[in-house]
Structure 1
Amino acid sequence: MMLPKEYWIEKLGLIPHPEGGYYKELPAANVWLAEQDRPLYTNIYFLLTADSPSHLHALTADEVWYFHYGSSLQVHEILPDGAYQKTTVGLDLAAGDVLQYTVNHGHIFGSSVAAGDDYALVSCMVAPGFTFADFKLFSQAELHARFPQHHELINELAVEKVD
């Protein structure tokens, strides 16, 4: 029997993440990139649920996802040329899951737990280190204008409006 998501939220001290799901910042690299005013890398625990996915966004740095526990997680990407790519991060290697996956900087992406599944617990490492200044959350209208061919994905994973 799978541990309930509340177990991880409590034990890891997770709080709601602005892009969806729950997270906790972990220690960053001790090496500081002075010219970029950030650490070499940053880490978080990240728990996504069926009703709280990671909404479509982009970063200016690469992000590596590491699977820990729960259901498989689908990483949805809109590539710079407009193509769609889905990668499943999880334990079912026979079904094509991968244990870790890197989303390249500049890709628009979000993540979801498959319908009917409860949650996925992962860690994410961003290099060079993450700052919210590097984070771009997209509205549905903005993405529909740029990528009308991905109507369903945008309706499912983009926020209606960005505050």
Structure 2
Amino acid sequence: MIQSHVHALSAQEIIRHYDLMPHVEGGHYRRVWCSTQDLQPESLPCGICGSRPCSTSILYLLQAGERSRLHRIRQDELWHFHLGGPLRLYCLTPDGRELDRVLGADILAGQHLLLPMPGGCWFGAEPCPGTAFSLVSCTVAPGFDFRDFELARAACLVRRYPFARERIEHFCRLPDGCPAPGEGGQA
């Protein structure tokens, strides 16, 4: 019989094992896969510049008290749950809707193993209450490039989505002790 000690892993052990680095939006990440096939500029959707790999994937870890601050990219992004506790994903769509979903293993309680984030949506994430950490992966197609990444400015989003002021301010705020963009990690 194979013994499993997966649930005994700490966030720090996972960060060390995968050599995860601080992400500008919060949490820790590492690119773990990049398609060997490239898409040329003429075959890419409008607004995406330069050639890109067909797809890329990262491991992404958020600990209790951390959050992925509201941001958007041009491409669709698929989030996959792996380890730890559930992760809340919050999204504001271009047509003015709010989506609030939970990525996690308890599918009978309405959690999802996979969740898509459509390109152009503003979205952020944080571990659910009582969760020590959440380890997920994010797959982007066409492949991710930081030229497609935009961190939200709370004041601008509140003007567009006044009904969501509290959540926008929550997901735009840096948690205590987190470095501001440019103070840690790679962009």
Q: Please, what TM-score do these two structures have when normalized by structure 2?
A: 0.82
Q: Tell me by how many angstroms 1:27 deviates.
A: 2.4
Distance in 1, matches of 2:123 and 2:10, equals 26
Which has more radius of gyration?
A: 2
Distance in 1, matches of 2:144 and 2:173, equals 21
Q: Residue 89 of structure 2 is aligned with which of 51, 61, 75?
A: 75
Give the match for residue 37 of structure 1: 51
Q: Which of 151-160 and 98-107 deviates more?
A: 151-160
Distance in 2, matches of 1:60 and 1:26, equals 20
- 2:132 alignment partner AA: D
Cα offsets for 1:105-125 (capped at 9, x unmatched) = 011100111123211000100
Q: 2:87·2:103 contact (CA, 8 Å) conserved in 1?
A: yes
Q: Do structure 1's residue 10 and structure 2's residue 24 form an aligned pair?
A: no
- 2:149 alignment partner AA: F
Q: Tell me by how many angstroms 1:50 deviates.
A: 2.3
Equivalences for residues 78-157 of structure 1 within 5 A: 78-157=92-171
Q: Identity of aligned pairs, percent?
A: 36
Change (3 A) 1:21 1:162: closer
**Structure 2 gap segments, 5+ residues each:** 1-6, 42-49, 175-179, 183-187
Give the total of aligned pairs.
Answer: 163
Q: Please, what TM-score do these two structures have when normalized by structure 1?
A: 0.94
Q: CA RMSD in A?
A: 1.7
